[in-house]
């Protein structure tokens, strides 16, 4: 039975104000394990789930028909990582991030802290998905190594790859949980709750979208790390969809939708956390509210991804018209096929990307510069790079379409760890 555990916080005397230096009693939330729970979906929620699973499957099955699947997958993974980071208050424009990505690869100048954090999230997501195949178990070791990579090089690096052994909380101030909006379970409960969550995540009883939704909500409820819970918890969604075979090639950037509806996102997660009997009406309503919100977000993410896919196809067609006659399988032809997934490149990167010599890559880049498909930019003091403005603008529009809240949305609610 889920419950609120009464605990006492003894102040260490730090903090500027009396409130920050206060000691207090607080309540930490201990959720029920998932494996022993019976989940029942209302009819309309089951329909939302079916629509979402159909949409995600169609995105994966149909991706190769329009553009290079690997290029599309790379851009959508980047979009997902950017949006997941944005929910945590980390914001950077698409062009700036793409420039930072190339700058770091070639060692060209300083990269700001925010861009570095988002790049680490992209790399952590890529690692967490690349090391999981259909039918594989999601292991604690994989989760911890992914988390270590996420925090590597940050001011919280020492906490990377380790479950928390301290109490954390959301909201209030950074010195005590006295006025926190939410306090997760005490640290001694983290490991058994996470073991249960992973066992649930590796089961195949529930529909994949339902399983991913519930696992994500439980992960955020446990908050097993000192920092990075939101980003790893949203990665867990895609790991589950991959291991279940629903999203093997291309992920739907659901975080783009969740970022735009942050109050609804937080509110639905909060309703998921009932107190008392798992069979109660409140527990049932909370699960259905969250699963419906998540499934609808998945479906909307797929719709926008499909629109982006069509836009990318049209952009590549326009590029080929601008370039003129291109010999099939030439370096120029191959670069045009992958450029949507790598909109900022160097000549060396092109040679690696399309597996050709430096001279062939340089000729291909020159061809696209002459056709105004690419334009030269300078990274750092003297490093030449080339960007494809049209696909960068399309990527920016994809983010703007989903991330920008509509007029009836409230302001974003920060989801910060303490």
- Average pLDDT of span 171-196: 96
pLDDT at 39: 96
Band of residue 412 on the pLDDT scale cut at 50, 70, 90: very low
Band of residue 106 on the pLDDT scale cut at 50, 70, 90: confident
By the 8 A CB rule, do 123 and 149 touch?
yes
With 90 as the cut, is the pLDDT of residue 129 above it? yes
Strand partners, 375: 387
Q: What is the CA radius of gyration of the chain?
A: 23
By the 8 A CB rule, do 402 and 83 touch?
yes
d(CA 305, CA 63): 10
Strand partners, 26: 7
Least confident of 31-40, 161-170, 208-217, 244-253: 244-253
Instruction: Report DSSP state, residue 355.
Output: T
Averaged confidence pLDDT in the chain? 90
pLDDT at 68: 55
B/e letters for 231-255, b = 16+ CB within 10 Å, e = fewer, are: bbbbbbbbbbbbbbebbbebbbbbb
- Average pLDDT of span 105-126: 86
With 90 as the cut, is the pLDDT of residue 408 above it? no
Locus of tokens 């998540």: 294
With 90 as the cut, is the pLDDT of residue 10 above it? yes
By the 8 A CB rule, do 9 and 177 touch?
yes
pLDDT at 93: 81
Contacts of 17 (CB under 8 A, 6+ apart): none
- Average pLDDT of span 371-396: 90
Model confidence, pTM: 0.90
With 80 as the cut, is the pLDDT of residue 381 above it? no
Least confident of 97-101, 146-150, 229-233, 354-358: 97-101
By the 8 A CB rule, do 316 and 67 touch?
yes
pLDDT in tens, 392-406: 999 888 777 665 544
Instruction: Report DSSP state, residue 107.
Output: T
- Average pLDDT of span 17-25: 92
Question: How many percent of the chain have pLDDT more than 70?
Answer: 94
With 90 as the cut, is the pLDDT of residue 16 above it? no
With 90 as the cut, is the pLDDT of residue 225 above it? yes
pLDDT at 144: 98
pLDDT in tens, 51-79: 999 999 998 887 644 445 677 777 888 88
Region of residue 13 (left: phi > 0; alpha: psi -120 to 50; beta: else): left
Domains located in the chain, CATH noted: 3-308 (1.10.3290.10), 324-394 (1.10.10.10)
By the 8 A CB rule, do 236 and 217 touch?
no
- Average pLDDT of span 139-160: 96
- Average pLDDT of span 192-221: 97
B/e letters for 30-64, b = 16+ CB within 10 Å, e = fewer, are: bbbbbeebebebeeebbebbebbbebbbebbeebe
**Helix or strand or coil: residue 70?**
helix
d(CA 77, CA 73): 6
pLDDT at 403: 56
With 60 as the cut, is the pLDDT of residue 147 above it? yes
- Average pLDDT of span 218-237: 96
């Amino acid at each position: 039975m889920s419950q609120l555990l009464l605990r006492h916080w003894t102040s260490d005397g730090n903090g500027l104000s009396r409130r920050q230096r206060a000691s207090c009693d607080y309540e930490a939330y201990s959720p029920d394990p998932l494996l022993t729970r019976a989940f029942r979906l209302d009819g309309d929620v089951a329909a939302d789930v079916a629509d979402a699973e159909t949409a995600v499957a169609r995105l994966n099955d149909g991706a190769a028909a329009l553009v290079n699947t690997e290029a599309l997958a790379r851009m959508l993974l980047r979009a997902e990582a950017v949006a997941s980071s944005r929910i945590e208050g980390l914001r950077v424009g698409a062009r700036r991030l793409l420039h930072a990505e190339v700058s770091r690869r070639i060692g060209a100048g300083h990269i700001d802290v925010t861009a570095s954090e988002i790049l680490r999230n992209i790399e952590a997501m890529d690692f967490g998905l690349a090391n999981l195949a259909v039918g594989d178990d999601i292991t604690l070791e994989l989760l911890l190594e992914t988390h270590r990579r996420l925090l590597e090089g940050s001011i919280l690096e020492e906490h990377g790859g380790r479950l928390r052994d301290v109490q954390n909380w959301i909201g209030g101030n950074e010195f005590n949980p006295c006025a926190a909006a939410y306090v997760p379970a005490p640290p001694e409960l983290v490991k058994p709750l996470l073991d249960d969550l992973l066992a649930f995540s590796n089961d195949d009883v529930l529909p994949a979208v339902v399983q991913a939704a519930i696992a994500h909500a439980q992960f955020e409820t446990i908050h097993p790390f000192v920092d990075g819970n939101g980003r790893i918890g949203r990665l867990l969604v895609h790991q589950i969809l991959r291991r279940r075979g629903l999203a093997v090639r291309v992920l739907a950037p659901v975080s783009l939708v969740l970022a735009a509806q942050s109050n609804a996102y937080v509110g639905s997660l909060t309703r998921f956390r009932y107190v008392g009997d798992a069979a109660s009406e409140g527990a049932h309503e909370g699960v259905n509210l969250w699963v419906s919100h998540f499934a609808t977000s998945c479906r909307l993410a797929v719709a926008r991804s499909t629109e982006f896919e069509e836009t990318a196809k049209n952009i590549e067609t326009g590029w080929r018209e601008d370039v003129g006659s291109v010999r099939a399988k030439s370096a120029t032809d191959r670069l045009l096929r992958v450029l949507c997934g790598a909109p900022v490149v160097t000549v060396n990167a092109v040679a690696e990307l399309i597996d050709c010599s430096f001279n062939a890559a340089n000729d291909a880049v020159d061809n696209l510069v002459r056709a105004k498909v690419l334009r030269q930019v300078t990274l750092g003091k003297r490093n030449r790079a080339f960007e494809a403005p049209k696909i960068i603008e399309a990527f920016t529009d994809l983010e703007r379409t989903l991330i920008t809240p509509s007029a009836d949305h409230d302001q974003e609610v920060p989801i910060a760890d303490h």
